[in-house]
Amino acid sequence: MAEQEYDVVVIGGGPAGYVGAIRCAQLGLKTACIDRWQDPEGKERLGGTCLNVGCIPSKALLESSELYEHTQKHLGTHGVRCGEVELDLAGMMARKDRLVNNLTQGIQGLFKANQVEWFKGHGQLQAERQVKFTGHDGKEQTLQAKNVILAPGSFPVELGCGPFDREYIVSSTGALRFEEVPKRLGVIGAGVIGLELGSVWRRLGSEVVMLEAQDRFLSFCDEQVANESLKIMSKQGLDIRLSARVTATKVDKDKGQVSVVYEDENGQHEERFDRLVVCVGRRPATDGLVSGPVELAMDERGTIHVNEHCETTMPGVYAIGDAVRGPMLAHKGSEEGIMVAERIAGMGSSVNYDTIPNVIYTLPEIAWVGRNEQDLKKQGVPYATGVFPFVASGRARAMEDTTGFVKLLAHAETDRILGAHIISSRASELIAECVIALEFGACSEDLARTVFAHPTLSEAVHEAALATLGHPLHIP
């Protein structure tokens, strides 16, 4: 017999679940959100992976480490001299922790303000939309829901031949908490996490070696962007080794090192590192999410099957965020949370999956939206390309930061913009105008006829649109 009844019970308080829960409550639905996250001190926290060990702490360290390297190496060019620059790693980590603390508490405040009830512990979906809640104190309760939103998120994939020991072989979570700068840092997987966290520790002084199984760097990016970024990042000092298949790892506690054996086309190699970060993808956290006679379809990886409106195979049960198909991105999960909340409230909301921006927060940043050149070739879509390099941008020159370019792809016949790919400083901000252009179904001529402030980096988007039409002004 259920003890409490709700219009909506959300399982998971990450960016998908907490945003969905707030939107439900805003729409007048009686809403509970169950989340089991506890920090290393056992304190319960909302915000899931993103706020606690993902987007926010990684961006805090990226920002701090960039400032450190910039002050050390680049201020002189601007005629700014300073004394010796010292790293206070404990101070840098403390700032990151304060930021995480403030933001997670902020969500707690939002829950209170919107009257979302927060249940601290494990949630499990049972038949008839009943949810079993087990508190951290072991006490159990059953919640009856008219609707259930599953937003359990994901966790890092472990390497069969190198399981996490949380000291020498760590996931991204461990790599956000090193107490010393590792002299030699091994990174397995040159994907998004590998590049971001590899960059942080390289800037702080580690010698970083990245072992990537695929023969193509950033195979999910536009090839021209991927090739450019490989050149730049290698020049920065990231030792990126492609086609590297790791076959064994061994921790030597006496030496405080971990050895890694890998194979590539030149044979077998062995490397020793002070720490090893394994970032070879993430998997939905759906183990133990359901019990009893429920028919929730999932694939063998634990990804919950949903349609375009995030409806699962069980009526009244929705799933959103990293636990369902699509990119594992915070903003994608949040938009799904909003869509589901609004649909429960009777609105006809949807998510445009074709215009979700992606960003890799290295320096330069890599950002894209829509289709890339390989996709268009494969699909046989006729297209025009416009590329504008930042070396021709007055603002980039004033910033002494001219790396990268903007690349626009438009349909050759209709001129409709199909994709935008940017590699540059602040590409994460520049991509937003391209997302809006795609969302509004703009043509490159629309961007070309829009007035952009001078001198700004965003003028490069304008120039790329002119280049797509065949008449750029500031490139020969």
**Does position 191 bind ligand NAI by CB under 6 A?**
yes
d(CA 29, CA 48): 22
Look up residue 453 and give its DSSP letter: -
One of 186, 333, 386, 404 touching ligand FAD (CB under 6 A): 333
Q: Which option in ligand NAI, ligand FAD, none does residue 16 bind, with CB closer than 5 to 8 A by kind?
A: ligand FAD
One of 277, 328, 435, 469 touching ligand NAI (CB under 6 A): 328
Sequence-separated (6 or more) residues with CB below 8 Å from residue 307: none
**Does position 337 bind ligand NAI by CB under 6 A?**
no
Q: Which residues are catalytic?
A: 454
One of 8, 9, 16, 467 touching ligand FAD (CB under 6 A): 16
At its nearest, how many Å lie between ligand FAD and the CB of residue 56? 8
Residue 91's identity, in one-letter code, is G
Furthest C-alpha separation in the chain? 75
CB atoms within 10 A of CB 94: 11
- Name the nearest CA neighbour of 200 among 402, 424, 363, 401: 363
**Does position 199 bind ligand FAD by CB under 6 A?**
no
**Does position 246 bind ligand NAI by CB under 6 A?**
yes
CA distance to 228, 315, 332, 426, 465, per residue, from 447 (Å): 25, 44, 25, 19, 6
Nearest residue (CB) to ligand NAI, 284 versus 419: 284
Nearest residue (CB) to ligand FAD, 123 versus 419: 123
Q: What would the two tokens of residue 355 be?
A: 């215009």
Q: Tell me, rounded to whole angstroms, the distance of Cα 120 from its chain centroid.
A: 25
The C-alpha angle 273, 276, 277, rounded to 5 degrees, equals 150
Give the full edge-to-edge strand order of the sheet including 169-170: 169-170, 275-278, 184-188, 207-211, 239-241
**Does position 329 bind ligand FAD by CB under 6 A?**
yes
In the stretch 203-222, what mask flags binding to ligand NAI with x, by CB under 6 A? --------xxxx--------
Residue nearest to ligand NAI (CB): 191
Q: Which option in ligand FAD, ligand NAI, none does residue 333 bind, with CB closer than 5 to 8 A by kind?
A: ligand FAD
**Does position 60 bind ligand FAD by CB under 6 A?**
no
> Looking at 250-258, 324-332, 348-356, 468-476, which segment touches ligand FAD (CB under 6 A)?
324-332
How many residues bind ligand NAI (CB under 6 A)? The answer is 24
Q: Which option in ligand NAI, ligand FAD, none does residue 12 bind, with CB closer than 5 to 8 A by kind?
A: ligand FAD
Sign of CA dihedral 96, 102, 106, 109: positive
d(CA 467, CA 451): 16
Provide the annotated binding site for NAD(+): 189-196, 212, 281
Nearest residue (CB) to ligand NAI, 321 versus 389: 321
d(CA 232, CA 102): 35
Burial of residue 225 (CB within 10 Å: 0-12, 13-18, 19+) is buried
In the stretch 106-145, what mask flags binding to ligand FAD with x, by CB under 6 A? ----------------xx----------------------
Contact (CB, 8 A) for 296 and 310: no
d(CA 162, CA 278): 8
Q: Tell me, rounded to whole angstroms, the distance of Cα 237 from its chain centroid.
A: 23
Nearest residue (CB) to ligand FAD, 116 versus 469: 116
The C-alpha angle 331, 336, 340, rounded to 5 degrees, equals 150
**Does position 329 bind ligand NAI by CB under 6 A?**
yes
CA distance to 79, 133, 228, 281, 447, per residue, from 377 (Å): 47, 50, 20, 27, 24
Nearest residue (CB) to ligand FAD, 197 versus 447: 197
One of 21, 24, 50, 435 touching ligand FAD (CB under 6 A): 50
Provide the annotated binding site for FAD: 59, 123, 322, 328-331
In the stretch 267-286, what mask flags binding to ligand FAD with x, by CB under 6 A? ------------------x-
> Looking at 60-68, 95-103, 357-365, 389-397, which segment touches ligand NAI (CB under 6 A)?
357-365
**Does position 474 bind ligand FAD by CB under 6 A?**
no
Binding positions for ligand NAI, rule: CB under 6 A: 159, 188-194, 196, 211-214, 246, 279-282, 327-329, 359-361
Binding positions for ligand FAD, rule: CB under 6 A: 11-17, 34-37, 48-50, 54-55, 58, 122-123, 151-154, 172, 193, 285, 289, 321-322, 328-331, 333
